[in-house]
Amino acid sequence: MTNIHPTAVIEDGAQIAASAKIGPLCWISSRAKIGENVQLLGRVTVMGDTTIGEGTIVFPGAVLGGGPQDHGNEFKEEAKLIIGKRNIIRENVTMHAGTPKEHFTTTVGDDGMFMINSHIAHDCVVGNGVIMTNNAVIGGHVRLGDGVILGGNSAVHQFCRIGRKAMVGGLSGVDRDVIPFGIVTGDRGKLRGLNVIGLKRSGYDEHTVKSISRAFMFLFKGKEGTFDERLEQAKEKFKDNEMVMEQLKFITEGLEGRRKIMMAD
Q: What is the rounded CA–CA span in Å between residue 14 and residue 32?
A: 5
Q: What is the rounded CA–CA span in Å between residue 207 and residue 213?
A: 10
User: How many residues are there in the chain?
Assistant: 265
Given 122, 147, 151, 182, which residue is catalytic? 122
Nearest CA to 177 among 195, 163, 198?
163
Taking the model in full, what pTM does it have?
A: 0.96
Averaged in consecutive runs of 10 residues, what is the pLDDT profile of the chain (265 residues)? 90 98 98 98 98 98 97 88 98 97 95 98 98 98 98 98 98 98 96 95 93 96 95 96 97 94 93
Distance in angstroms between the alpha carbons of the first and the last residue of the chain: 57
**pLDDT in the model for residue 1:** 53
Q: Is 122 a catalytic residue?
A: yes
The answer to whether 34 and 16 have CB atoms below 8 angstroms apart is yes
The DSSP symbol for 26 reads -
**pLDDT in the model for residue 72:** 86
The answer to whether 98 and 67 have CB atoms below 8 angstroms apart is no
Given 123, 141, 147, 163, which residue is catalytic? 123
**pLDDT in the model for residue 2:** 66
Given 23, 55, 129, 140, which residue is catalytic? 140
Q: Is 123 a catalytic residue?
A: yes
Q: What is the rounded CA–CA span in Å between residue 253 and residue 265?
A: 22
CB atoms near residue 90 (< 10 Å): 19
